[in-house]
Amino acid sequence: MKHMYPKNGRVILHVDMNSFYASVEMAYDPSLKGMPLAIAGNPEERRGIIVTCSYEARSFGVKTTMTLWEAKKLCPQLIVKKPNFDRYRAASIGMFEILNEYSSLVEPVSIDEGFIDITESFEHGAPLEIAETIQKQIFERLDLPCSIGVAPNKFLAKMASNMKKPMGITVLRKRDVPKILWPLEVEEMHGVGKKTGEKLRRLEIKTIGDLAKASEIQLKSTLGINGHRLKERANGIDNRHVDPDAAAEFKSIGNSTTLPRDNSNQQELLRVIENLAGTVSVRLKRKKVLATSLSVMIRYKDRKTITRSKKLSNPIQKSDEIFEAAKQLFLKHWNGDSIRLLGITGTDLVEQNEAVKQLDLFSFEKEAKKEPLFQVLNNLRKKYGSQIIERASGMPELKKQQENIGTETSFNKDFLRDLPDKKDNK
């Protein structure tokens, strides 16, 4: 079977579970199969938000993030269930166990999707045969449907897995990119969100093909250093390796502290938040990641605890940026009562070199000045290796900072054992 594999390239699968939470509930209770089913955060309230729904529900127009009252208006017979995260974790572990039977190079992306590099797995069969066997085993062992993308790199595998749902298998080669990807709307490209899509359209970039042929100068002036990366992706270029440690190591990074006494002094509480922001910043830098969402936890003297989150316009890592975002959240949601515990957590983490910075007109000039330095560093790393030069933010001295702060760490080492904070919208 070795002749079925490329001599120099890679063969990567992206396994994407279909309507995961709803499918797990159907596997647990077969009477739900074929029924319009939705998983919602708070089914008792009409304001509850739908986390995911079955394909039968989607046929009525029900969508993820829709409120329950809207969904039930579209589908009066909709069955609504609360999330059962223990059940979903167990199913996720079962899915990744199957993937690990075919390769040691398995990279979890979230609770319901992951990459697997099968370049050296030829003893299990041809690439398409492996994909078909994995899909069949996940369905037979776990009673769960999935879609799989087969491609020479992670980006194309991710795009391919989204093309046929449910229970689809799609092969996407680099030579297929102009015919299959380029005609698609630019927002359909993985890595291009709503805001980025709006910025690209202002440059008359409407399709993935337009992005593939766009001027790098224009892209950099609008998207900063991420412009070049997006253009590469649009041309089917992605040199990232499947890394078994990349996603499984952490999902969120945070810090919390119990105060010496119940406190309602705003100035003192903000100083605590500032210290926590510094600690979180150090840990983000140490792991070379940025947070795209931030949450603040407040526990009052009566032990009532609230957690409030905010999606950030740009990924952040610096202590002053974390403090400012946390301060706004805290002041907005604190009711003025005495507080026993405070915590800050950065979530929806992205790798430092993958962070998409949505630059505005004021920050672009500042970022552009860094470009010559970034280019020099990149050239040195290409020639001598990625570790030849590290930014000051990655130096060991940072590990010594904030060590004397009494904390209760909420650093989650294994996302499969933590509540998933990513909406399941497959």
* Nearest Cα to Cα of residue 345 among 404, 283, 300: 283
pLDDT computed for residue 292 by the predictor: 87
pLDDT computed for residue 2 by the predictor: 77
Least trusted range by pLDDT, from 3-7, 14-18, 98-102, 238-242 = 3-7
165 and 294 within one domain: no
CA distances (Å), origin 90, targets 28, 101, 374: 12, 17, 43
Q: Which residues are annotated as a binding site for Mg(2+)?
A: 16, 112
279 and 403 within one domain: yes
Choice among 113, 351, 390, 403 that is catalytic: 113
pLDDT computed for residue 403 by the predictor: 36
Q: Domain containing 228 — which CATH number?
A: 1.10.150.20
Query: Tens digit of pLDDT for each residue in 32-85?
Result: 999 999 998 766 665 678 989 999 999 999 998 888 999 999 999 999 998 888
* Nearest Cα to Cα of residue 296 among 265, 350, 262, 339: 339
Average pLDDT over residues 5-17: 94
260 and 381 within one domain: yes
More confident site: 26 or 347: 26
Total domains present in the chain: 4
Full domain range(s) for residue 134: 2-18+86-176
**Which pTM was predicted?**
0.62
Distance between CA atoms of residues 87 and 92, nearest Å: 9
What DSSP element (H or E) covers 137?
helix 127-142
Q: Is 65 left (phi over 0), alpha (psi -120 to 50) or beta?
A: left
399 and 261 within one domain: yes
Of the chain, the percentage scoring pLDDT greater than 70 comes to 80
Query: Tens digit of pLDDT for each residue in 156-200?
Result: 999 999 999 999 999 999 999 999 999 999 999 999 988 899 999
Residues 17/426, Cβ–Cβ less than 8 Å:
yes
pLDDT computed for residue 391 by the predictor: 45
Distance between CA atoms of residues 155 and 191, nearest Å: 9
Q: Is residue 421 part of a domain?
A: no
Domain final position from 234, 268, 300: 234
Residue 247 tokens, joined: 């996603």
Distance between CA atoms of residues 31 and 75, nearest Å: 18
Q: Which residues are annotated as a binding site?
A: 16, 112
* Nearest Cα to Cα of residue 55 among 182, 145, 157: 145
User: Is a pLDDT exceeding 60 seen at residue 247?
Assistant: no
The pLDDT-based confidence of 205 (bands split at 50, 70, 90) is very high
Average pLDDT over residues 18-30: 96
Peptide bond just before 36 cis, omega within 30 deg = no
| Strand intervals (E) in 301-360 | 305-316, 339-351
113 is a catalytic site residue: yes
